[in-house]
Amino acid sequence: MGFDLRKIGPVAWFWIGAFAVSLVLAQYAKGWSKAMGAKWLMKVPRDLRIPMKKDVSVFMDWLVEGAHFGLFTFKDLTRGLSWLIEQPYLLVKSVLVTGWVEGLGDEAVQHLPPLTWIAVIAIVFAMGYYAKNWKLAALVGGCFAYLAIFGQWQSAMVTLASIAIAVPLGVTGGLLLGIAGYRWQWFNRLLQPILDLMQTVPIFAYLVPILFLFGFGPVSALVATVVYAMPPMVRITILALQGVSPEIREFGVMAGCTGRQMLWKVMVPSAARGLMVGVNQVIMLSLNMVIIASMIGAGGLGYDVLTSLRRLDIGGGLEAGVAIVVLAIALDRLSQAFADRAPPEHMELETRFIRRHPWMLTCVLIVLGTGIAGIFATPFQTYPSVMEITTGPFWEDLVKWINVTFFDQLEAAKTFMLVTFLVPVKRFLLGLPWPWVLVLVTIAGWQLGRFKLALLCFALTLFILVNGLWAKAMVTVYLCGVSVVIAGIIGIPIGILAAQNKQADRIVAAFIDTLQTLPSFVYLIPVVMLFRVGDFSAMIAVVLYALAPAVRYTAHGIRSIDPHLIEAGIVSGCTKRQLLWRIKLPLALPEIMLGINQTIMLALSMLVITALVGTRELGQEVYIALTKADTGRGIIAGVSVACIAIIADRLIAAGSLRAKRRLGLET
Amino acid sequence: MADPSIKLACRNVWKLFGENPASVLQCHGGKPSLSDIQDAGLIGAVRDANLDVRQGEIFVIMGLSGSGKSTLVRCLSRLIEPTGGEILFDGQDLLQASEQEMIEFRRHKMGMVFQHFALLPHLTVLQNVAFPLDVQGVSRTEREIRAREVIELVGLAGREGYFPRELSGGQQQRVGIARSLAVEPEVWFLDEPFSALDPLIRREMQDEFLRLQSMLQKTIVFITHDFDEAIRLADRIAIMKDGEIIQIASPEELVLNPATDYVAEFTQHIPRAKVLTARAVMRSLPSGEIPARASLAGEIAATDRIESVADKVEAAELPFAVVDTEGTAIGLLDSRIVVDVLIGRGR
């Protein structure tokens, strides 16, 4: 098969040409602009810049200091809110961690101890059994026992307390907003772009204004967590409610339901299964965020990781990191089991409460029993520290050993990637004059989505430009770009394999599930230990974090091809290879594009976290703003990342839709 | 004054889907033609529907998919707001009723059975059936007593504690039927209730339905796309096509006098013996003439279906007298006529 030049359409020719021009420009534009005295081509001139970050900062200051809503000030509002959130948090914290204490410091008198470690393990064990079976009970119980044995109990309980508050808040808030969005079209129209934006603004960017409004401490962390974890719940609620069959809705009307009865007796219970998926999402996102929020005072496991990372205490960091993973796995499996729980078989209509809830009773007994025993014998109350195992030194030694033994290989791999791939791409992107990029992005928008998309691309690119973040944005694009390419190169073949081979599918699914349950923070630990800080480490962490959607969507795309088409291919005498290249891949292309799109989104959100390991891009800008509590700077940098994300998202979504239409998969 | 035997009626009901349907309807004097509607970029789901449903009858609306039958029945219960017209329930226009009045109407006077059952997945059979009473605020004991009654009625006693997913399709629809009957509605809407069931179960459910109706004597609007089902169940049938009601008639009349070729297309393949009565095919006697008893094999009621008397008439050498309700002979039925009907030979 020769490559037929005539097959290339005019659009493709345009992009080949544009790429060639870009290559030349990247190489020489800097020199030319200097020679012509037109430096503005490479560096956005100061006159063009609009210092929005100052305005934002001024606005935030005014909000906190001056804003007044008649009866109360904005400050009163935030204070009231934080008081409201703090009360339940303190309650849960005292149940799980501190006990009921009066007084401060040495004078503190403990009235009631917190739940004993045995009681907590028994409760999660019972929940595991109730939700699914003995196996799950053993898994969750084991996970929590691990936390006790390996000395992570205190921190883990602090983290758990935050989650226990954040999740109900996130779920309730998301549910109510979702219901409102379902009920009122105008509200939905208002909500959608905000949700889009919230999903694309990096997590860190939330922290800055929240820190400013609520101050350093667990409340800020909780607010950030709820804000971060709520959008998926809103979306899932709307989808789940829309997914209720129209007949059920009609039945509700015909039964004479009032609006309220309709909602709470018909719609919400019918959508319950879908809603549980949302709850699981909220739990996982909360866990992810609680860890990150340790930077603004959440404490717990995230704080342990963070301090260890800063001290380069590899053992301690890894231990706390593993504890996060263990906690995440336990919570994820547990909530998923609750979501898929087959409701009971037909029930006997009249039974006694105790008979119906044997587990509840057992748990209450264990809580009381161990609580009383704990007063007399401490080991019942807190896991005895002599029996704790610490793996810190082991990890330390292991990493040291790897670093000593494989130093050359690791270094060689790193240098190779840097020299052949990372650095050239970075040079290329940074060498492009900004007007040229602006024009290309706008043209791409025009081609895929006509006027509206072109305008959007142009405006968002301009936003980055006028805020003077061009260079950092290009570094972001570069890091994100190389990571996505590598994630694609690894992920798509794995996805193809998983779609075609059941055994491989099981292994891959388990692997990907685990990757997805890990809070993004955790990826940094091993990477930094092996490759130290820098672009390469960041890239590996991003690839690991963003790999999942590339695999998932590819596998899903191939699996959901109409089996008749594949049969048609086999009957036409396709070999396996032809089947893959000529039928499966082209038909799965739109889905794969969506996977890549998701990969980009995840990569961008992870990039901001990698700022911790010293990349110089927009994430770092946000991070600096966070440490300096510079709201304007943080928000503008965050929104800039969102701009890049939105441009990529809209372009790819438009491309995918176009491909789908061409294939007749969607009209 | 409206005819008291008419329970539910609709007058010039229109339902147009698309942008600004009301003004399009106004603009063409309330009677836009098909091309007017298309020119405005609308879809005429129901066009100028007029029908009367009498107290206690089974009124079937038959049409293929897209004919507007489901939209029409939803207009009748105001699940869909008609673009124009009147829906008269005991002479009162439902379209003038307030939201609150509609809730009351639906709570006490209407029941509906859905194609895909529309059972609430989180409730047991008992709770599902009691649900309409629950939303009315009926006390728990009272509504459960009533629910158990109707569950018994549809033959599901003993399954009260089951969840819908534990039941077969036929059983689920029995729950749907029981639920719609729990409030003792005056008008009973059934929207393709048996279409999602297997053919054998469907037949069984049709029999069950006829049995219930013989006990309850509800006023029924029954939607179906299956002409056989319509013939089997209906007192009268309305045939719809492209949003329009083409003909309203009893099954027999439809077979004998199809209004259009479209209707004839359906009736052609119907076993006529099942539909036609002795009256429809008999050789009429001039009034006053009384046939000699010796020349007859026996008597047949005018309302008997040919199917039920065919064997006897065919076997006899002499014709049978067809008698009306007063016992007066009004015609003759011989084996030749019966054979004509059976093999579908025209007369």
Single-letter amino acid code for the residue at B229: E
Instruction: Quote the tokens at residue B268.
Output: 């052609």
* Element at B288 (helix H, strand E): none
Does B158 contact chain A (CB < 8 Å)? Answer: no
- Provide CB contacts within 8 A for A521, sequence distance 6+: A288, A291, A292, A302, A305, A321, A324, A609
Instruction: Quote the tokens at residue B76.
Output: 């009748």
How high is the mean pLDDT of chain A?
Answer: 80
With respect to residue A12, please indicate whether it lies within any of the assigned structural domains.
Answer: no
* Total Cβ atoms within 10 A of residue A434: 20
- On the 0-12 / 13-18 / 19+ scale of CB atoms within 10 A, A296 is buried
Q: What is the mean pLDDT of residues A255-262?
A: 89
Which CATH number goes with the domain that contains A629? 1.10.3720.10
* A13-17, A38-42, A639-643, B336-340: range with lowest mean pLDDT: A38-42
With respect to residue A185, please indicate whether it lies within any of the assigned structural domains.
Answer: yes
Taking Cα atoms as reference points, which of A660, A411, A430 lies closest to residue A560? A660
Instruction: Quote the tokens at residue B118.
Output: 């529309």
Does A345 contact chain B (CB < 8 Å)? Answer: yes
Instruction: Quote the tokens at residue A284.
Output: 């996982």
Half-sphere exposure (Cβ direction) of B2: Cα atoms closer than 13 Å: 18
- Provide CB contacts within 8 A for B150, sequence distance 6+: B129, B178, B179, B181, B182
A477 and A337, same structural domain?
Answer: no
Tens digit of each residue's pLDDT (9 = 90 or more) over B281-309: 888 877 767 777 777 888 888 888 888 88
With respect to residue A452, please indicate whether it lies within any of the assigned structural domains.
Answer: no
Of all residues in chain A, the one with the smallest CA distance to B111 is A254
Q: How many helices (H) and strands (E) does chain A have?
A: 31, 4
Tens digit of each residue's pLDDT (9 = 90 or more) over B30-54: 788 888 888 888 888 898 899 999 9
Domains belonging to chain B, first-starting first, are: 56-78+98-270 (3.40.50.300), 274-343 (3.10.580.10)
With respect to residue A526, please indicate whether it lies within any of the assigned structural domains.
Answer: yes
Best A247, A250, A251, A346 member to test B by mutation, with max B CBs in 10 Å, is A251
The DSSP annotation for B23-53 comes to HHHHHTTT---HHHHHHTT-EEEEEEEEEEE
The answer to whether residue A507 scores a pLDDT higher than 80 is: yes
Tens digit of each residue's pLDDT (9 = 90 or more) over A577-587: 888 888 888 88
Does A350 contact chain B (CB < 8 Å)? Answer: no
Chain-chain contact of A261 with B135 (C-beta, under 8 angstroms):
yes
Question: Rg of chain A's alpha carbons, rounded to an integer?
Answer: 27
Q: How many residues does chain B have?
A: 347
Q: What is the pLDDT of residue A665?
A: 66
- Provide CB contacts within 8 A for A546, sequence distance 6+: A483, A484, A487, A599, A600, A602, A603, A606
Taking Cα atoms as reference points, which of B247, B197, B122 lies closest to residue A341? B122
- Provide CB contacts within 8 A for B347, sequence distance 6+: B281, B340
Q: What is the pLDDT of residue A1?
A: 42
The answer to whether residue B223 scores a pLDDT higher than 90 is: yes
The DSSP annotation for A152-192 comes to -HHHHHHHHHHHHHHHHHHHHHHHHHHHHHHH-HHHHHHHH
Provide the pairing of β-strand A100-102 with B187-191. Answer: unpaired
What's the CA gap between A395 and A176, in Å, rounded?
46
Which residues on B lie below 8 Å from A347 (Cβ)?
124, 161
Chain-chain contact of A250 with B110 (C-beta, under 8 angstroms):
no
Which of A126-130, A466-470, B104-108, B220-224 has maximum average pLDDT?
A: B220-224
Chain-chain contact of A247 with B116 (C-beta, under 8 angstroms):
yes
Q: What's the domain count of chain A?
A: 2
- Predicted TM-score (pTM) of the model is 0.78
Longest CA span, chain B: 73
Which residues on A lie below 8 Å from B195 (Cβ)?
none
* B143 Cα to chain A: minimum distance (Å): 14
Alpha-helix residue ranges (DSSP H) falling in B43-139: 69-76, 99-108, 125-136
* B189 Cα to chain A: minimum distance (Å): 10
Chain-chain contact of A254 with B110 (C-beta, under 8 angstroms):
yes
Strands of the sheet with B244-249, listed across from one edge = B110-113, B187-191, B219-224, B58-63, B236-241, B244-249
Q: Which residue has the higher pLDDT, A349 or B330?
A: B330
Does A259 contact chain B (CB < 8 Å)? Answer: no
Instruction: Quote the tokens at residue B267.
Output: 């009736």
Best B75, B76, B77, B79 member to test A by mutation, with max A CBs in 10 Å, is B79
What's the CA gap between A466 and A458, in Å, rounded?
12
Tens digit of each residue's pLDDT (9 = 90 or more) over A398-448: 878 887 888 888 888 888 888 888 888 888 888 788 888 888 888 888 888
Does A268 contact chain B (CB < 8 Å)? Answer: no
SS3 B244: strand
Task: Find out whether A234 and A174 touch, Cβ atoms under 8 Å.
Answer: yes
Tens digit of each residue's pLDDT (9 = 90 or more) over B69-106: 999 999 998 999 998 889 999 988 999 989 899 999 89
Instruction: Quote the tokens at residue A301.
Output: 């496991």
Chain-chain contact of B132 with A255 (C-beta, under 8 angstroms):
yes
- On the 0-12 / 13-18 / 19+ scale of CB atoms within 10 A, A207 is buried
Instruction: Quote the tokens at residue B300.
Output: 């047949």
Give the DSSP letter of residue B183. T
* Element at A580 (helix H, strand E): none
Last residue of a domain, one of A316, A344, A372: A344
Chain-chain contact of A254 with B112 (C-beta, under 8 angstroms):
yes
- The whole domain housing A239 covers 150-344
Phi (first) and psi of residue B87, to 5 degrees: -115, 115
Task: Find out whether B52 and B9 touch, Cβ atoms under 8 Å.
Answer: yes
With respect to residue A140, please indicate whether it lies within any of the assigned structural domains.
Answer: no
CA A620 to chain centroid = 18
Of all residues in chain A, the one with the smallest CA distance to B135 is A257
Distance in Å from the first CA to the final CA of chain B: 42
Last residue of a domain, one of A326, A344, A362: A344
Per-residue confidence band for B62, with pLDDT thresholds at 50, 70 and 90 = very high
* B72 Cα to chain A: minimum distance (Å): 14
Q: What is the mean pLDDT of residues B8-33?
A: 85
Does A503 contact chain B (CB < 8 Å)? Answer: no
With respect to residue A141, please indicate whether it lies within any of the assigned structural domains.
Answer: no
Q: What is the pLDDT of residue B346?
A: 63
- Give the nearest partner residue to A346 out of B105, B131, B166, using CB atoms: B166
Question: Rg of chain B's alpha carbons, rounded to an integer?
Answer: 23
With respect to residue A43, please indicate whether it lies within any of the assigned structural domains.
Answer: no
- Give the nearest partner residue to A347 out of B108, B116, B161, using CB atoms: B161
A484 and A340, same structural domain?
Answer: no
Single-letter amino acid code for the residue at A75: K
- Provide CB contacts within 8 A for A435, sequence distance 6+: A41
SS3 B71: helix
Of all residues in chain B, the one with the smallest CA distance to A269 is B122
The answer to whether residue A113 scores a pLDDT higher than 50 is: yes
Chain-chain contact of B131 with A265 (C-beta, under 8 angstroms):
yes
* A237 Cα to chain B: minimum distance (Å): 17
Taking Cα atoms as reference points, which of B343, B309, B311 lies closest to residue B323? B309
Q: What is the pLDDT of residue A2?
A: 45
CA B13 to chain centroid = 19
Chain-chain contact of B112 with A247 (C-beta, under 8 angstroms):
no
SS3 B220: strand
Task: Find out whether B176 and B118 touch, Cβ atoms under 8 Å.
Answer: yes
Taking Cα atoms as reference points, which of A239, A237, A209 lies closest to residue A57? A209
Last residue of a domain, one of A344, A371, A400: A344
Taking Cα atoms as reference points, which of A641, A494, A594, A605 lies closest to residue A203? A605
Which residues on A lie below 8 Å from B162 (Cβ)?
346
* Total Cβ atoms within 10 A of residue A275: 22
